Structure formats: structure tokens, C-alpha cells
A and B are shown apart, each in its own frame.
Chain A
Amino acid sequence: MRIEVDQERCEGHGLCEERAPQVFTLDDEGNLSYAFDGQDVPADRVDEAESGAVVCPVAALKIVR
């Protein structure tokens, strides 16, 4: 499973980070960094990553299987 991050669409709501702090983090300016950019999410992080991605209020995080 991969997650595609649409940085253009991300507005920095941070709901993903609240649910999955090991996967998504916002810096001091509110910019999102994603731990597994361009690669498969490791098996032990899939549930966490998915739970963070589904709450993105602006659909900037797309789950690709």
C-alpha cells in the first residue's frame, strides 16, 4: 500500500498527524512531511497510515493499493 500526498491540496489541518504521528508530521510552518514518500508503507505502519489518510478533510492523501 502506498499513499500519494497532494501537497498542492494540503492546507495543514493536521488531522493525519494527530492519528498517525509516526507517519505524518507538520513542521512549524504547517508544511506536511510524509515518512514513506514514493515507497510502500511498511507492513507495521499500514493501519496507522491508513487511519491518518482517511481523515484528511481536503482529500489530499490518497491511498493506493
Chain B
Amino acid sequence: MVANDDRAGERTECPYHDESANGSVIDAIDTTSTSQGRPATYTENLFSPAAIADAHRHYRVLRSLGPVAWSSKHKVFVVSRYREARAVLADDAMFRSDDGIALTALARFAGRHTTLLGDGTEHDRRRKLVASHLTPRALRPTRSTVAAVAESIVERAVARRDIDGVEDIALEMPLTIVPDLVGWPDGAREKLLPWGVAGFDFAGPVNRLYVKSLPGMISMRRYVGGVIRRRDVRPGSAADNLIAALDRGEISRAECASMLIDLLAPSIDTTASVIAAALQLFADHPDQWATLRADRTLMSNAVNEVVRLASPLRVFARRVVADTVIGGVSVPAGARLLVFYAAANRDETVWPDPDRFDITRDAAAHLGFGHGVHSCAGQGLGRLETSCVLDALLDTVDHIERRGPGARASNNIIARWESLPLRLVPLAASAGAPTSLETEVQS
């Protein structure tokens, strides 16, 4: 069952190429293709451990291949340039998420009642229910709580001085905020990260990470089933809201379970990816840290720039409903399309010097949270958690130092740090915040 990804009527062959090509990145560029309707072929595995570890090299090659490429390895079309990626995400009628977002039929079947894998009015109805407690509007009264949590996490980390930026700050933040906000019963906290990791690996192709995710997927489903039976969610929470909708008969039990997974699975490692990336980027670029310290109105843009570079969610798929043309390349009905958000966010034709971290660049139009009706429902919370951590650090920390190379996690969908050894150098202990000049002299 697991390996059977082919379905009747589904297009898994590029209509323009035979599948004999094989080889290195250089060979992967099909020089015979032209820009007149035919995509170039890319032969490499985009989900191998090596490709995940060295993703941006692949993204550069993919972008150079044209607006659309054909992945002979995964039997899907690939979009990696900003313009086309944004256009595909914006056109949710032509490029569908229902039966589309995951790479395997099993994952698409399992996710069929979620908001992520829904379209049209079904999707809008589900998103309202799932996101109603997570929108920036709904979060306004919660802002001070999130800020207080960030301050206490940062205070503990500064006291320790040498920390793992992932464990001690980046994960600690969502693991403290999310269980209460979403309303999970006590005892869920330890499981939220492994379940989230499994949920994203499960959306990838059949590989080792996918197979490893299956037990986690089963135990996550069992858990939300138990939550629905026991109804032991925190009153007034987002999960409580979904169970109330079930009781009113607005959603089915299966929908309720899937929408609880919508709330659970993407809530931890995504945010942790952004916060850890912020710590790493500001540690490596003290000039940017000084710029943000000097002008905190740059905070919102700084978070956008971190999300652009970190692109926690590197790729999702769409299903093409009718014959169409993307950037001059014909794509047939029934095809599947991988949209590499992480590649689009470093498209050199849109972002000058795309690998450079610059919090003053206008980064608001990045695709790190997706775009359009399926854009991340938790992005308001993610932005809030990240900016509160950075604010708390600016209040207490002079600068952040790297204490080792750290390690990257390997996941089919999510790009993030697994560990990030850091030293937090506190602001001088004298009363009041010193000026940056004094700080330099003292340190």
C-alpha cells in the first residue's frame, strides 16, 4: 500500500521526454529543450538526504532550467522561480490542493478532510474554523502573554549563557505557547514535535523519512481520536472551537479529527525553524543585529527577511486540473506540480544578492508562508512568537555568538536547525541599557 503511488488517470510521465536520462547536476540540464513549450528535465532525487542537506545548490540549477522543469525522478513538474511559483499559488482553481499537496496517494487520502488539502468553499469553511483563534486579529489580546513567555525563556537562556538555540529558545517558545492556545490536554507537549516532524515527512515521496513517519502518523491520529472522545481540551481554545462545531453538526467526526491535525502538526517545528534561523542569522551578521537594535520599527521586515531566507516549508505540491501554460511551458491536465517556496524566495531576478541577509530589504512579498487562500493559517502566531523572542533578546543581550557549526535536521518538507550552539552575551549589568558605544568599550 505504501509504495503504490500510481492512480488511474494520473499523469506520471512527462509527455515530452523519455526517461532514459540519468546523471549528475550538469547532466540534469537537458540542453535539447527549448523555451517554446517544453520543460527541461531534471534527473536528480530532490528528497535524498544529500539533496536535503544541500538544497540550495539544487534550487539554483532548477531556477536556471526555466519556469517549469520536469523531474524524471519524481514524475512531477517543478516550479522554482518566484513569478511562476506565486502565480501557481494564487490560482487555486487551476492548481488544486485537494488530492494534490502530498506526493503519495496514501498521504493525500489520509489528509482528505484537512484544510490544507481542501479547496473552494469547503476549504474556506474549514479554514475559518481552524484559523479563527490564530489570526492576528484574534491574537491581539494574547500578545502580552506571548511577550511575557518570550521574556522568561530568554531570561533563563541568558542566565545559562551557553545554550542550544534550538532546544533552549526556538523549540521552547512554541512548545510553551501552542499547547495552551490550541488547548491540548496536559501530557501532549512531548509528542507535539515528533508528530509535527512525522506529519511533514509523510507529505514527501516514499523514502526512508516517509516510512519512518508512519508510526508517528498513526499515533497522532489515535491521539486526536482520543481528544474527540474525551473532550478534555481547554475551554475556549482553538481545539474546543472545533469540537463545538462537531457538536453543532457543522463538521463530521472525520473532519474534526483532520482539522485538529491541521492545528497540531504544523505548529512547532515550523516556528522553531524561523526562530533558530533568526538566532543564527543575527549571530553571523552582527551589523544586522545592530541595525535592528537601532531601529525596532524594522522588526516586522526583519522577521520577513528571516522567513525568506529560512523558508521553513521548502516545497508542497499542486494538482493541475486542466491543460495550461506556465511561463510559456505547457503543462497537461492531471499533472502534479512541485512548488519550491524555498527556491522562489532566493530567485536572483527578484531578490538582488538573494543569499545576503539584509533586514532593510523589502522582503514582505516572500512566499515563505505560501500565498493566497492556502497561505499559512498560523503565520500571525509565528510572526508574533519570533518578534517577541527577538524583542526580549534585544532587551537583554548585547550580541549572539556561534559556539560551533550546529547540525541541520533532515525532513522531506521542513528545513530547520536540529541544534545550534550559541553564546548569549548579556548587555552590561549596569543600571539601564548602555549605549552601543559603551557596550563596545566594555566588551
On A, residues with C-beta under 8 Å from B are 8-9, 11-15, 18-19, 29-31, 54-55, 57-59
Please tell me the size bucket of the interface on B. Answer: 20 to 34
Residues of A within 8 A of B364 (CB): 15, 18-19, 55
Residue from the list B137, B300, B365, B370 in contact with A11, Cβ < 8 A: B137
Chain B contact surface mostly: helix
Can you add 19 more A-B contacts, CB < 8 Å, to A30-B135, A54-B365? A8-B124, A9-B124, A12-B136, A12-B137, A12-B380, A13-B379, A13-B380, A15-B364, A29-B137, A30-B136, A30-B140, A31-B137, A55-B364, A57-B369, A57-B370, A57-B371, A59-B90, A59-B372, A59-B375
Cβ-closest chain A residue relative to B368? A57
Residue from the list B124, B136, B372, B376 in contact with A14, Cβ < 8 A: B136
Number of A-B contacts (CB under 8 A): 48
Cβ contacts B369-388/A at 8 Å (1 or 0 each): 11111011001100000000
Pairs A–B under 8 Å by Cβ, sample size 6? A18-B301, A19-B364, A30-B140, A57-B370, A57-B375, A57-B376
Cβ-closest chain B residue relative to A11? B135
Cβ-closest chain B residue relative to A12? B137
Residues of B within 8 A of A58 (CB): 372-373, 375
Q: How far is the CA of A49 from the CA of B222 in the complex (A)?
A: 48
Q: Does B233 contact A (CB under 8 A)?
A: no
Q: Does B331 contact A (CB under 8 A)?
A: no
Q: How far is the CA of A29 from the CA of B136 in the complex (A)?
A: 10
Residues of B within 8 A of A15 (CB): 300, 364
Residues of A within 8 A of B373 (CB): 9, 58-59
Q: Does B193 contact A (CB under 8 A)?
A: no
Q: Does B131 contact A (CB under 8 A)?
A: yes
Least distance between B306 CB and chain A CB atoms (Å): 15
Residue from the list A19, A30, A55 in contact with B137, Cβ < 8 A: A30
Residues of A within 8 A of B380 (CB): 11-13
Cβ-closest chain B residue relative to A55? B364
Q: How far is the CA of A18 from the CA of B124 in the complex (A)?
A: 26
Residues B140 and A11 in contact, CB atoms below 8 Å apart: no
Q: How far is the CA of A62 from the CA of B231 in the complex (A)?
A: 40
Least distance between A12 CB and chain B CB atoms (Å): 3
Cβ-closest chain A residue relative to B377? A11
Q: How far is the CA of A8 from the CA of B135 in the complex (A)?
A: 12
Residues of B within 8 A of A57 (CB): 369-371, 375-376, 379
Least distance between B410 CB and chain A CB atoms (Å): 28
Residues of A within 8 A of B137 (CB): 11-12, 29-31
